[in-house]
Structure 1
């Protein structure tokens, strides 16, 4: 029982013109669907100017010999009395062949007694109604865009790079895919969308009960997703990069959602990409990020350059004021800057003595260390620079 493929990747118009007189009914997707509709019933497009040859077919029964068209990017599920009876995941045209008496008719080649009589008897026992129900539904296997999420209050995560807890209000969108149609319809789709005459199941509709549920589960996973992103030991992730890394963030979000709610293994859903539209950090996190930017700007060779420029400005200030107060304000004597003011060759000894007289007789190591520690705390120098200044001040 099930489908027999008769054409691969064929469209409805081509099949209608080529096979329109050979089959009782054509089942095709409805028109006017939105891009975010993920499940919708097949509709009958009869031949013979829309009237079809199957004038005695039963409602909600797929007659043997009917053709169901599956367009590119869609799958098809059929249901017999509420249970999944067949699955099609490849585009093309398929002829329906069922052993159910309700699928047989005087047009399906079953013979008079084998179809008409047997079916009428079975229906009579059930009060004139078909003993079963056969329905066909299309499943959208394309990417489902524009699934939104957002928080009204900050979410918090432990940030390994900042070495503390960080927080932010955020909003964005993610792209969803149905990886397993059977799991999807069995575990997530309400029964009202799998019945005769059901309306399309649009997963982004505000009135869709599943939409609100998925929204809450994604929001509930954001803090864990942020933590996964910034604390991945295999990557040098920083929270400031997350808005430009939709693939990396989607991976973290998908893993966290799977951990918490088993979207893939139990519901047949996957998050293929995610984009953060906005992140509004709380005040403490903003201050931390400001310090990090300063540290990044002064890292490596930049710290050494900045230190030399600061010392040079201090020397210049000392010359303008006629004394060593500029350097003293920095807590550094001339000896602490490695003799950056050279002795002029051949200069009179008095000049050297005069210069020496302007220098502090003995630099105060406590003042030097205090100044260097403040520069370290302010992010103006690195720990390595501080250690070097400490050794120099202590004469080590």
Structure 2
């Protein structure tokens, strides 16, 4: 056999007049990747009437391969040739066409062959066409829950996802020889055998791809990473990433419609959020309880040193404020030094550096001694105590 290329590009001018009867590609329906050739017969106005011949060709047949398609010729014996460049071709294999040559002789010869082989020619030759455009909208979904290790929650969660993918034939020869069933004149990615294999391997690569993103993205952020997911699927060397090398087609794009938690994982996430809120509330209560305990402890200590119940409470509250940076004020962070032996009409000295708790207690004790021996009045004692305590 032989395929002779007559011209490149579209049919026009002289070739349109010479090639009145051609076999070319039929329509590609949604997800159709292989379609049988159709005989088009031109009239004088160069119109075209389609005659469904299922792409049967013979010696002298004219074949036109449009842009973004490839063609392959096959018979019961297998694939004979694959045409990957667009243009016009003439098929020659030594078998005379009933439309060419001496006509009558060829007709009687083929009639004899048909009687010999049960009314069929020795070998029926077909031509079918491959869709090289991107085939979009192939739906996928995870039938069983998929494990996703979410770093934010620190555990494996189960999710379900659905979306669409697009596929493109990149190597027509490999595609026809390794993926299309033998003697198939038409084929679609929606056919059960093709769809089952594609979805099974795609989901495996999809799981690998999304889990490789778990270090960077939470589950809610995955739909925005569709391009990155598609790249990782193409590079997965275990399943869908091997399609181009094995079958001659590859994943072009992935569109994620939704990613949802399973019911069990949704309950775990809700429990996590609830526990986090409880911990935050407990921390706040614990801090306030600690401040109150500190106030009570310090107040009791001051009462034991003879400052009285009111003085102890004031001292404890002031110290608790100093310990709590959220309630402390600038006025509480500096303490006016008390001159224990100077009358109240003496000019007040400048603020001294902040005193420690022990220093405050010692200063107040000295003031109390001065009060007891009559050196200070009650009003003077109260004023100096407030200065020391920063009240």
Indicate the TM-score class for this superposition, using the shorter chain for normalisation. Answer: 0.5 to 0.7
Number of the residue aligned with 2:131? 140
Consecutive unaligned residues of structure 1, counting only runs of 5 or more, are 53-57, 295-309, 363-396
- 1:89 Cα deviation (Å)? 1.9
Which of 207, 222, 226 is the aligned partner of 1:246?
226
Matches within 5 A, 1:14-163: 14-15=11-12, 18-23=14-19, 25-31=21-27, 33-48=28-43, 61-92=56-87, 94-101=88-95, 104-105=96-97, 107-109=99-101, 115=106, 119=110, 121-159=112-150, 163=154
Give the Å deviation of 1:250.
Answer: 0.7
Give the secondary-structure state (helix, strand or coil) at the position aligned to 1:242.
helix
Change (3 A) 1:37 1:82: farther
- Indicate if the aligned counterparts of 2:20 and 2:42 stay in contact, CA closer than 8 A: yes
Cα distance change on mapping 1:359 and 1:225 into 2, 3 Å? farther
Query: Any idea what the Cα deviations from partners look like across 1:141-196, whole Å, max 9, x if unmatched?
Result: 1111111112355310345676542332211111111223333334433457x15x
| Residues 1:271 and 2:251 aligned together | yes
Q: Is the 8 A contact 1:162 1:288 kept in 2?
A: no
Mapped to 2, the partners of 1:203 and 1:162 lie a distance apart of: 38
Which of 173, 197, 214 is the equivalent residue of 1:182? 173
- Show the counterpart of 2:298: none
Q: Secondary structure at the match of 1:6?
A: strand
2:78–2:182 Cα contact (<8 Å) kept = no
Compared with structure 1, are the counterparts of its residues 127 and 153 closer, same or farther at alpha carbon in structure 2 (3 Å cutoff)? Answer: closer
**Aligned-pair RMSD on alpha carbons?**
4.8
1:29 CA drift (Å): 2.1
Contact (CA 8 Å) 1:167, 1:285: kept in 2 or not?
no
SS state at 1:185 partner: helix
- 3-state DSSP of counterpart to 1:217: helix
Q: Show the counterpart of 2:188.
A: 202
> Counterparts of 1:169 and 1:135 in 2: how far apart (Å)?
44
Cα distance in 2 for residues equivalent to 1:280 and 1:182 = 40
Change in Cα spacing, 1:154 to 1:125, as seen in structure 2 (3 Å) is closer
Offset, 1:325? 6.6
Q: Deviations over 1:101-122 (max 9, x none)?
A: 2xx2364347987x55654554
**What does the per-residue CA deviation read over 1:302-345, in whole Å, with 9 as the maximum and x for residues that have no partner?**
xxxxxxxx9xxx9xxx9xx98877996xxxx7468599744699
Residues 1:357 and 1:174: Cα distance change in structure 2 (over 3 Å): same
1:133 CA drift (Å): 1.2
Q: Would the aligned equivalents of 1:62 and 1:96 in 2 still touch at CA under 8 Å?
A: no
Q: Structure 2: where are the runs of 5+ without partners? A: 278-286, 296-312, 339-349, 362-391
Q: For the Cα contact (< 8 Å) 2:219–2:259, is it kept in 1?
A: no
Is residue 266 of structure 2 the alignment partner of residue 283 of structure 1?
A: yes
Give the conservation status (yes or no) of the 8 Å contact 2:73–2:81: yes
CA displacement at 1:358 relative to structure 2: 9.2
Aligned residue number for residue 371 of structure 2:
none
Change (3 A) 1:151 1:28: same
Deviation at 1:41, TM superposition (A): 0.2
After superposition, the Cα gap between the structure-2 partners of 1:98 and 1:324, relative to the gap in structure 1 and judged at 3 Å, is farther
Shift of 1:44: 0.6
Aligned residues: 310
2:196 and 2:318 map into 1 onto residues whose CA distance is 64
Compared CA separation, residues 69 and 322, structure 1 to 2 (3 A): farther
Q: Provide, for residues 73-98 of structure 1, a one-character-per-residue CA deviation record: whole Å limited to 9, x for no partner.
A: 21111113251112122222x22222
TM-score by length of 2: 0.62
- Deviation for aligned residue 1:7: 3.0
Q: Does 1:349 align with 2:328?
A: no
Larger Rg: 2
For residue 217 of structure 1, report the CA deviation from its aligned partner: 3.1
